[in-house]
Chain A
Amino acid sequence: ALLFLHPIIVNLNMDSKADMKREKKDEESGGNPYAKLDVTAVLQECRAFNETPINARKCSIILTKLFHLVQQGDNIGRTEATEAFFGVTKLWQSKDATLRRLVYLAVKVLSTISDDVIIVTSSLTKDMTGKEDAYRAPAIRALCLITDAAMLQTIERYMKQAIVDRNPAVSSAALVSSIHLMKKAGDVVRRWANEVQEAASAEGHMVQLHALALLYQIRSNDRLAVNKLVQKFAKGGMRSPFALCYLIRIAKQLIEEDDQADSAFFQFIDSCLRHKSEMVVYEAASAIVSLPNTSPSELAPAISVLQLFCSSPKPALRFAAVRTLNKVSVKHPQAVTSCNVDLEKLITDSNRSIATLAITTLLKTGAESSVERLMKQISSFVSEISDEFKIVVVEAIRALIARYPRKHTVMLPFLANMLRNDGGFEYKREIVDTLIAIVEENPDARLAGLAQLCEFIEDCEHPALATKVLHLLGREAPKTANPHAYIRFVYNRVILETTQVRAAAVSALAKIGAQCPQLRPSIEGLLKNCLLDSEDEVRDRATFYLSVLDMAPAIVNSLVLDTLQSSPAALERAAAEYVENEEAHSNKFDLKSVPVCSAPVAKKAKTLLAEEVAPAKEKKTAANATAAAAERLSQIEGLTAGLGPLFKSTLPIPLTDNVNEYTVQCSKHIFANHVILEFEVKNTLNDQLLEQVNVSLEDAEGEWKALRQRPIARLPYGEPSSIFVLLPFPQSGAVQGVLGATLNFKVKDVDPSTGEPESDDTYDDSYVLEEVELCVSDSVQPLGKASFGPAWNALEEEDTVEETFSLANVSSIHEAIKKVCGLLGLAPCERSDIVPEGRNRHVVMMSGVFRGGHEVLAKANVAIDPNDNSIGLNLLIRCSESIIAEILATAIV
C-alpha cells in the first residue's frame, strides 16, 4: 500500500512548490493577484478551457479572474466574451464540483455581455432535472436568467416539480427565480400558484419566505385572495421568522390600505410582539408604530419592546430600535417620552450613528420645559463629537426652534457659542443658516440674531459665510428700529476683507441706503470712499450704486433691491439666440422674453442621517416642469413656431381614474397669447391597438376654440404618447374656462402576446374625460420679492383693485392664505405667509409675474371672526396694467 501511495505524495510535493512560487509573485503585487488583472491576458488564458483533460484547478482560477474583471467594470468586447463563453461550455465535461458550480456562475455573469448564451439551455435543463442535488439549484437559477417567456413554457413542467422539491436549495432556487421572472413572464408564473402554495408549508425557513413572497405577488391584484392568504398563515403554520416578518409586512399593508381592515390582522401583528425571535418582535413593533390611527393603548406594547431593545448588547438591534423611535417621535412625541431615560443613556453609545439618532430623537420629543436641560446636556458633549454629528445636532436644534419660537433666548446664545468654537466650514455654515432662518422667521429674535451675526463677521475666516451675512444685513437691517447701528459692521468689512466680501459689503450698504432715505447722504459718502478701491469689481459696484441711488424710487427698486427674475441658464440661452439671429438685432433685447422663474433653492447636501431625505426623491416642482417642457416641446417640429418663449407649464393633472382602460393626464403649457394642452394618453388594454387618437374640446361659453391639433397616429398597449391641442387666449381677455373633453379613436383588436393586429377591421369609439379647467393661476408665475414694501409703493400711481370676500370651507388663517396664494398663482414675500400663533388677523404680501412679463403685487388682509369662526378676506392688487389686476381679482369666487 505504501508503494501505491508514493507517486501521489510526490505529485503533491510538486504542486505545493508551484504554489509557493505563485505566492512569492503575489507578495510583489501587493498580496492580491486579482487587483491588477489585464483583460487581454485573462482572455488569452481562457483558451485553457479547450484543453483535454480539463485541469480543474487552473480553470477555476481563470474563471475567478474573469468574474473579477466583470466586477471591476473592465470592458470585455462582445466577440471576446462570446469566445470565452464557448470555452466555458466545454467545462461541462468536468466532474470537479467547484468548477461545475463556477460554470453556472459564469453563465450568469456572461449572459449580459456575450451572444448566444441560449445554446446552453439543454445542458442546464439536463442538470436541473438530474440526480446531483448540488447542480440542480444553480442550474435552475442560471437557466431562468437566460430564458424568455416563450422558452419558459417548455421547461414549465420541470419548474413546477422543482418548486415542490424536497431539497430546500432546489425549491428556493426555483421560487426566487420565479420572483425574478414575474416581470418577464408573469402570466406563466401565475399558473404555478398551486405548487407555490404547497411550498409555503414546506420545512425550510427560506423556502417559506420565498414561497410566501411569490404567492403574494401572484395574488397582489386580488384583494380578497391576499386577505385570505394572510388569514390562513396568521393562524399558524409559519415557523420561519423570515416568513413571519414578511407576513407582518403584508398585514400592515392591508391595514394601511383599507380602513375597515379585519381587526384580526392587527391582532396577528400584536401577537408577534411575543414571538421568541427578536427579528420578528422588532418587525412587529416597527409595523405597529408606523400604522396610521393607532390608539395609545395599541401603541404602548410596541414602544416598550423598542425601549427594551435600546439596551440590547447587539448594535444592530439598538440601532434599529432607536431609528424606529426617531421616526415615531414625529407622529407620537408623547408615546416616545417614556423612553427618554433609555435614549439619554444611548447618547454616549460607542456607535455614533446610534448616539446621534438618540440625540435627535430627544430633541424632537423634548417638551418646551425641558429645552434648557437638553441644551445643557448637548453642550456637555458637543465638543467631543465630530463635525458631521455636530451638523446633525444643529439641524435638530433648528427644528426645535421652529417648534418653540419663544425659546430663542436659550438657543441663540447656545448657537453663538458653537459658532465661536472650532469647527469646519460645513459646520459653521449650518449654524449660520440656522441663525439666518431664526432672524427671518421670528421677528422677536431678529435683533438678537443680527447682533450675533454681526459679531461673527467681525472675525470670520470663510468669505462665503461673510457674504451671506452681509446679504442678510442689507435686507433685514432697514426693518429694524435703528438701521444706522449696522452700517459700522458693514463698512468695517469694506476696509478689512477680501474682494468678494468687500463687494458684498458695498451692495449691502446700497440696499440699506435705498430703503432708508434719512441715511442716504452718509451712505453715499461711504460709497464714494469705495471708488478708490484696488479691485475693479468693488469700484464698479460703488460707481453703479452711487449713480442709481438718486433716481426715481421705481428705478432704485428694480436695480438695487430686486433680484434677477429669470434663471441664469434661461437668460444665457435667450441671449445666445438673440446674438445668433441677425434679423432680431433691429429690436432691443427684451428681458421679458426670457422665461421667468424664482431663484433656485439650493439643494441640501446629504447629512449623516440621509434616510429622511432619501425617500423624498427629487420633488416635482412647477419650475423644473417648465424647463423640461420647454426642452420637450421645442423638439416637436412646428408645434411652438411663432408662439414665443414658453411662459409656464403646469404639472400634469389626471383626467381619468388610474384604473381605467385608458388613462389620460393633461398638462397646460402657457405662452404669451396661446395655451398648448398636452394630453398624455396610455392604453392599458393589451388586446387593443388605438389609431387616430384625438381629443375634442367643447366650451359651453364659446370663448375657447382649438386652433390646431396634433393627434396620435398609433397607440399600442403600454406606451404613453401625447396629443397636443393649441388654443389661443380669447379676444375678450378671459383667462378662465372649463372645457369638456372627449377622447376619440379607432380600435383594432390585436393578439396580446405579440401585439400584431388580428385583422384590419377597426371600429370607432370615444371616451369621455373629466373637464379641463383653465384658471387664473395658469397665467401667473409665482415669484417672491425680497423687499415688497418699496416695490408696492413704486406702483402707487396705478389704480389699486380692491375686493372683499368672505371665505367658506376654510377653518384657519393659515389655510386661507395658502388657498389665496394658490388661486392667484402668486408667491408669498418676506415669509409673510407664516402666521404667528394666536393672532386673529394677518396681512400676507404676494407677488408674481403675469403672462407677458407684467409684474403683479397683492396684499391680502385675512381676519377670522372669533364669534363664528368665519374668515374674511380683503384683497388689494396692483399691476402696471390695470386690466390684469382686475383679471386676478376674478380668481377668487
Chain B
Amino acid sequence: MDFDTDPTSLYSVKGIVILDQDGNRIIAKYFDKSVFGSVKEQKAFEKNLFSKTSRNSTSDIVLLDGVTCLYRSNVDLHFYVLGSSRENELILEALLTCLYDAISTVLRKQVEKKTLIDAMDTAMLIIDEICDEGIILETDSQAVVQRCNLKGDDISFSDQTFSQVGQTFIGAAREQLKWSLLK
C-alpha cells in the first residue's frame, strides 16, 4: 500500500484516532503499517500529537512528522484524522467532519466520553464504514449512519434512557386507547 509517494494512490488515510481529555486512547485505528507498525510507535505518536493539539482551540490542523493531522474536540474527547501529507487537506477535513457528525448523530448530540464508551460497538462500525484499509469509503455522515442501520428509532434500547423508552410506549398505548375508544 502506497501511502506517501504515488500521487494517484487512493490510500491516503493513515489512521483515525479518538483520545480522551488525558490523551488516553479510546479508539485508534491505523492503516499505514509502515509508519505506525507497532503499538509503541502509535502510542508515541499519540502522545506527541496530544501535547501539540490539546491546548489549542476546538478545531484545527497540524503537520507532525510528515503526517497531516486534522483534529476536533468536544468536552472530553479529541477526534483525529491522520492523513498522508500529499492528500488534499480539504478531503481529509471532509472525512473528519463525517466522522464527528456520524458519531454525534448516534450519540444524540451528546458527544462525551461516557456516551461514546456506551456506544463503542457503533463507533467502531462507523469508523469501518468511512474508511477501508486507508481508502476513504464515505464522507456523508447521513449515509454512514444509515448504512450502520442505526436510524434514530432503531438504536438499541440500552442507548435510550428509560424515560424515553417509557414515553414512546406510553404514547403508543395512548394512541391505541384513543382509537379503541373512538370505535
Which residues of A pack against B, CB within 8 Å? Answer: 1-2, 5, 8-9, 12-13, 15-16, 19, 26, 31-35, 57, 60-61, 63-64, 67-68, 71-73, 97-98, 101-102, 105, 108, 134, 137-138, 141, 168-169, 172-173, 176-177, 179-180, 205-206, 209-210, 213, 216-217, 220, 242, 245-246, 249-250, 252-253, 278-279, 282-283, 286, 314-317, 319-320, 323, 350-351, 353, 606, 608-611, 613-615
Q: Which B residues lie within 8 Å of A315 (CB)?
A: 59-61
Residue from A9, A177, A220, A320 in contact with B90 in the complex, judged by beta carbons closer than 8 Å: A320
Which residues of chain A are within 8 angstroms of B92 by Cβ–Cβ distance? Answer: 316
Q: Mark B157-178, 1 if CB is under 8 A from A, else 0.
A: 1100010011001000100110
Q: Contact at A98–B61, with CB atoms within 8 Å?
A: no
Pairwise interchain contact A282-B90, C-beta atoms closer than 8 A: yes
Partner of B147, one of A35, A137, A246: A137
Contact of A16 among B65, B135, B162 (CB under 8 A): B162
Indicate whether A249 sits within 8 Å of B8 (C-beta atoms), given known contacts A206-B139, A315-B59. yes
Contact with A along B105-146 (1 / 0, CB 8 A): 000000001100100111011001000110111111001000
Closest residue of chain A to B4 (Cβ to Cβ) is A615
Q: How far is the CB of B5 from chain A (nearest CB, A)?
A: 7
Cβ of B152 to closest chain A Cβ, rounded Å: 14
Please state if B70 and A316 are interface contacts (CB–CB under 8 Å).
yes
Q: Report yes or no: B138 in contact with A97, Cβ–Cβ below 8 A.
A: no
In the bound complex, do residue A250 and residue B8 qualify as a contact, i.e. CB atoms below 8 Å apart? yes
The complex places the Cα of A225 from the Cα of B129 at a distance, in Å, of 32
The chain B residue with its CB closest to the CB of A252 is: B7
Best-surrounded residue of A1, A141, A209 (most CB of chain B within 10 A): A1
Instruction: Assess whether B47 is interfacial by the CB under 8 Å rule.
Output: no
Task: Give the distance to chain A from B166, nearest Cβ to Cβ, in Å.
Answer: 7
B residues with CB within 8 A of A: 4-5, 7-8, 10, 20, 24-29, 38-39, 56-57, 59-66, 70, 85, 88-94, 113-114, 117, 120-122, 124-125, 128, 132-133, 135-140, 143, 147-150, 154, 156-158, 162, 165-166, 169, 173, 176-177, 180
| Beta-carbon contact of A205 and B147 below 8 Å | no
Closest residue of A by beta carbon distance from B89: A320
Query: Shortest Cβ distance from A538 into chain B, in angstroms?
Result: 40
Cβ–Cβ contact B156 & A98, under 8 A: yes
Q: Are A2 and B117 closer than 8 Å at their CB atoms? A: no
Q: Provide a sorted-by-A list of 25 A–B residue pairs whose CB atoms are within 8 angstroms.
A: A1-B177, A9-B166, A12-B162, A31-B117, A73-B39, A97-B154, A137-B147, A172-B137, A176-B135, A205-B140, A206-B139, A210-B10, A220-B8, A250-B8, A282-B89, A282-B90, A320-B88, A320-B89, A323-B89, A606-B65, A609-B63, A611-B85, A614-B4, A614-B66, A615-B4
Q: Which residue of B lies closest to A317 (CB)?
A: B90
A252 to B6, CA, bound (A): 13
The 7 closest A-B pairs by CB, nearest first: A614-B66, A73-B39, A320-B89, A97-B149, A279-B90, A316-B93, A64-B121
Closest B residue to A102 using CB positions: B121
Which B residues are in CB contact (< 8 Å) with A317?
89-90
Q: Which residue of B lies closest to A96 (CB)?
A: B156
Q: How far is the CA of A581 from the CA of B62 in the complex (A)?
A: 56
B96 to chain A, nearest CB (A): 9
New contact pairs (15) apart from A60-B121, A64-B121, A216-B8, CB-CB < 8 Å: A9-B166, A26-B117, A32-B117, A34-B26, A61-B120, A67-B124, A71-B29, A97-B154, A98-B156, A179-B135, A210-B10, A242-B139, A245-B88, A315-B59, A614-B65
With A12-B157, A32-B24, A180-B133: A102-B125 Cβ-Cβ less than 8 Å: yes
Query: Which chain B positions have C-beta within 8 A of A97?
Result: 149, 154
Q: With contacts A98-B125, A105-B128, A206-B136 known, is A615 near B5, CB below 8 A?
A: yes
B56, B117, B136: which contacts A33 (Cβ < 8 A)? B117
Q: A279-B88, A316-B90 are in contact. Are A98 and B149 (CB under 8 A)?
A: yes
Which residue of B is nearest A318, CB measured? B61
- Report the Cα distance A614→B63, complex, angstroms: 12
* Residue contact B61 to A353, C-beta cutoff 8 Å: yes
A353 touches B113 (CB 8 A): no
CA gap between A708 and B82 in the complex, in Å: 54
Q: How far is the CB of A410 from chain B (nearest CB, A)?
A: 30
* A2 to B90 CA separation, bound complex (whole angstroms): 54
B91 A279 Cβ-Cβ under 8 A:
yes
Q: Could you say which of B8, B93, B149 contacts A253, with CB atoms under 8 Å apart? A: B8
How far does the alpha carbon of A875 sit from the alpha carbon of B156 in the complex, in Å? 86
B90 touches A614 (CB 8 A): no
Q: For residue B137, which residues in chain A have a CB less than 8 angstroms away from its CB?
A: 172-173, 176, 206
CB distance from A289 to the nearest CB of B (A): 14
Contact between A73 and B38 (Cβ–Cβ < 8 Å)?
Answer: yes
* Nearest CB on A from B92, distance (A): 8
Interface contact B158-A15, CB-CB below 8 Å: yes
A314-B93 in contact given A8-B169, A98-B122 (Cβ < 8 Å): yes
CA distance in complex: A24, B136 (Å): 38
- A322 to B118 CA separation, bound complex (whole angstroms): 41
B63-A608 in contact (CB<8A):
yes
Q: Across the interface, do A172 and B138 meet the contact criterion of CB distance under 8 Å?
A: yes
Q: Report the Cα distance A141→B138, complex, angstroms.
A: 14
Q: Which residues of B have CB within 8 Å of A246?
A: 8, 10
- Closest chain-A Cβ to B98's Cβ sits at a distance in Å of 11
For A279, list chain B residues within 8 Å (CB): 88, 90-91, 94
CB-based contact B117/A319 at 8 Å: no
CA distance A31 to B113 in the complex (A): 8
CB < 8 Å neighbour of B121 from A61, A134, A216: A61
The complex places the Cα of A683 from the Cα of B66 at a distance, in Å, of 36
Cβ A614 vs Cβ B85 within 8 A? yes
Q: Are A141 and B132 in contact (CB under 8 A)?
A: yes
B173 to chain A, nearest CB (A): 6
B7 contacts A19, CB within 8 Å?
no
